């Protein structure tokens, strides 16, 4: 007899002793009375002694039965506790969420969405992994994050990824307030070739957009004095030097309001981008992720942005 049969028959014995009646115990267990009697007899055969005394008034356990019942109740309690522990662990895991987020989206959109999420789902705990798209997209593909909040392409190029645009943003050439070029009413694309630059690497959307801006003006792309994956480093270096960078306006929202950074008036079409959610196409968002996605949609509405 395998362990599962032992546990099942021990459970049947405990129920029989609790009700004092095979008929009542069988009804409680969802068994027929003959099936329960057969299970008890099989247990008696396995241990080699009677475990119940049967009479017209019902059943009572023998000394051997009392011993088995005591162990059976301990096992039942342990199983019940284990089941509760697993359920709590499962519920906790359902309420834990890991997402990726780009620098610009961490400035206003995600904080606003997290505030909304807390109002409706205060039990959800969110871990945010921060980076540019070159780091975020592999996280999405490997399911390290539920989704990424970052720039999304106008045309999907990866069949495994699904994109949902939430809002639009524009990028600009960024300088410190008081930079020599910031005093001009208009900056020509050719003026940018003489500047020093700190930029994202060339595979990033914003860097490619700057290259296109210059190429469309018949100029060569600029060479960066510093390349980095850190948007915070770009902003800090620009604030403390005459280096320029090319970043989404959303990313410098608070620094611009504080008078620390400014967008140069470059005489060229502005580059627009879409901000949104990227997830695995084949995967369905878990409830916690779906709740945050809903909060992001709400926060992205024009009337809710401050």
The CATH number of domain 3-93 is 1.10.10.10: yes
The one-character DSSP state at 268 is S
Q: How confident is the model at residue 182 (pLDDT cuts 50, 70, 90)?
A: very high
Match domain 97-304 to its CATH number in 3.40.190.290, 3.40.366.10, 3.20.20.70, 3.20.20.140. 3.40.190.290
Answer whether residue 1 shows pLDDT above 60: no
- Give whole-number Cα distances, 189 to 169, 218, 220, 274, 289, in Å: 21, 9, 10, 24, 43
Q: Among 222, 172, 170, 176, which residue's Cα sits nearest to residue 197?
A: 222
Q: Which residues of 236-253 are buried (b: 16+ CB within 10 A; e: fewer)?
A: ebbbeeebbbbbbebbbb
* Pairing between β-strand 271-280 and β-strand 148-152 as defined by DSSP bridges: antiparallel
Q: How confident is the model at residue 88 (pLDDT cuts 50, 70, 90)?
A: low
Answer whether residue 251 shows pLDDT above 50: yes
- The residues, ordered by sequence, that sit 6+ positions from 237 with a Cβ below 8 Å of its Cβ are 198, 226, 243, 245
Percent of the chain at pLDDT > 70 equals 95
Average of per-residue pLDDT across 256-281: 92
Rounded CA separation 174/247 (Å)? 7
Q: What is the pLDDT of residues 99-115, one digit of tens each?
A: 999 999 999 999 999 99
Residues of the chain with CATH 3.40.190.290: 97-304
Residues of the chain with CATH 1.10.10.10: 3-93
Rounded CA separation 275/300 (Å)? 10
Answer whether residue 89 shows pLDDT above 70: no
Do residues 21 and 59 touch, judged by C-beta distance below 8 A?
Answer: yes
The residue to which tokens 């942005």 are assigned: 305
Greater confidence (173 vs 287) lies with 173
Answer whether residue 80 shows pLDDT above 80: no
The sign of the dihedral angle between the CA atoms of 168, 171, 177, 181 is negative
Rounded CA separation 85/304 (Å)? 41
Average of per-residue pLDDT across 221-233: 93
- Give whole-number Cα distances, 303 to 9, 159, 171, 226, 300, in Å: 65, 33, 22, 38, 8
| Lowest model confidence (mean pLDDT) among 23-27, 52-56, 203-207 | 203-207
Rounded CA separation 29/230 (Å)? 63
The residue to which tokens 């401050």 are assigned: 306
Rounded CA separation 122/175 (Å)? 40
Helix/strand/coil percent split, the chain, to 5? 50, 20, 30
Answer whether residue 201 shows pLDDT above 60: yes
What average pLDDT is seen over the chain? 89
Rounded CA separation 114/126 (Å)? 9
Q: Which residues of 67-104 are buried (b: 16+ CB within 10 A; e: fewer)?
A: ebbeebeeeeeeeeeeeeeeeeeeeeeebebbbbbbbb
Average of per-residue pLDDT across 242-259: 93
Average of per-residue pLDDT across 254-277: 92
Rounded CA separation 121/115 (Å)? 10
Answer whether residue 94 shows pLDDT above 70: no
Angle subtended at Cα 137 by Cα 252 and Cα 126, rounded to the nearest 5 degrees:
70
Best-predicted range by mean pLDDT (57-61, 153-157, 300-304): 57-61
Regarding pTM above 0.85, the answer is no
How high is the pLDDT of residue 202?
87
How high is the pLDDT of residue 204?
83
Q: Please report which residue ranges of the chain form alpha helices under DSSP H.
A: 3-19, 22-29, 33-47, 63-94, 109-120, 133-141, 205-216, 231-239, 253-257, 287-300
Half-sphere exposure (CA, 13 Å, Cβ side) for 125? 6
Q: How confident is the model at residue 90 (pLDDT cuts 50, 70, 90)?
A: low
Greater confidence (272 vs 165) lies with 165
How high is the pLDDT of residue 279?
95
| DSSP line for 281-300 | TTSPPPHHHHHHHHHHHHHH
How high is the pLDDT of residue 306?
60
């Amino acid at each position: 007899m395998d362990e599962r049969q032992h546990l099942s028959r021990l459970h049947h014995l405990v129920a029989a002793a609790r009700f004092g009646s095979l008929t009542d115990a069988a009804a409680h267990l969802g068994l027929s009375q003959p099936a329960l009697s057969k299970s008890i007899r099989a247990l008696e055969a396995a241990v080699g002694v009677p475990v119940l005394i049967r009479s017209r008034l019902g059943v009572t356990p023998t000394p051997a039965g009392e011993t088995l019942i005591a162990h059976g109740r301990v096992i039942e309690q342990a199983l019940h506790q284990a089941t509760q522990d697993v359920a709590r662990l499962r519920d906790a895991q359902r309420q834990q969420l890991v997402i990726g987020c780009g620098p610009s989206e961490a400035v206003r959109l995600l904080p606003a969405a997290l505030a909304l999420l807390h109002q409706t789902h205060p039990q959800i705990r969110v871990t945010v992994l921060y980076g540019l798209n070159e780091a975020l997209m592999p996280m999405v593909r490997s399911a390290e994050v539920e989704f990424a909040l970052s720039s999304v392409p106008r045309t999907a190029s990866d069949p495994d990824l699904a994109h949902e645009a939430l809002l639009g943003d524009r990028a600009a050439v960024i300088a410190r307030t008081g930079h020599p070029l910031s005093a001009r009413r208009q900056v020509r694309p050719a003026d940018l070739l003489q500047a020093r630059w700190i930029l994202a690497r060339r595979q990033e959307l914003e860097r490619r957009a700057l290259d296109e801006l210059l190429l469309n003006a018949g100029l060569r792309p600029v060479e960066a004095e510093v390349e980095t994956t850190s948007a915070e480093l770009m902003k800090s270096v620009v604030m403390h030097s005459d280096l320029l960078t090319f970043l989404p306006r959303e990313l410098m929202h608070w620094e611009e309001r504080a008078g620390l950074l400014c967008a140069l008036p470059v005489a060229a079409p502005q580059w627009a981008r879409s901000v949104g959610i990227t997830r695995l196409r084949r995967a369905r968002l878990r409830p916690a992720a779906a709740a945050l996605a809903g909060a992001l949609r709400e926060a992205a509405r024009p009337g809710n942005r401050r």
